[in-house]
Amino acid sequence: MPTTCCAPGCTERHSKLLDVRFCHLPKEEGRGEKWIFLMKRAQADTPNGLGEPSYYDRICSLHFISEQQTA
């Protein structure tokens, strides 16, 4: 199964041609929930809500701000 980003609206998929990395959501209590909220997946009770991500879901590096990019 190909790796895709679990962020709503993101269609990024793993490709050897692109320099995009995928990572798991953090397992630490509170930190994972914060990521889910910031991704706007927290509205699981709404009709179009995506609900809680699974262990297999990944988020792509395009949703992170690097210190190198702010220079």
pTM given for the model: 0.65
pLDDT value, residue 50:
63
Structural domain boundaries enclosing 1: 1-65
Residue recorded with tokens 């692109």? 18
Whether the CB-CB separation of 21 and 63 falls below 8 Å is answered with no
Amino acid letter, 47: P
Is residue 41, in this structure, part of any structural domain at all? Answer: yes
How many structural domains is the chain composed of? 1
Is residue 45, in this structure, part of any structural domain at all? Answer: yes
Is residue 70, in this structure, part of any structural domain at all? Answer: no
Is residue 60, in this structure, part of any structural domain at all? Answer: yes
Whether the CB-CB separation of 63 and 10 falls below 8 Å is answered with yes
pLDDT value, residue 71:
44
Is residue 71, in this structure, part of any structural domain at all? Answer: no
Q: What percent of the chain has pLDDT over 70?
A: 75
Predicted confidence (pLDDT) at residue 65 exceeds the cutoff of 80: no
How do residues 26-59 score in pLDDT, each as one tens digit? 888 888 888 877 777 655 455 555 667 778 889 8
For residues 25 and 34, what is the distance between their CA atoms, to the nearest angstrom? Answer: 10
Amino acid letter, 8: P
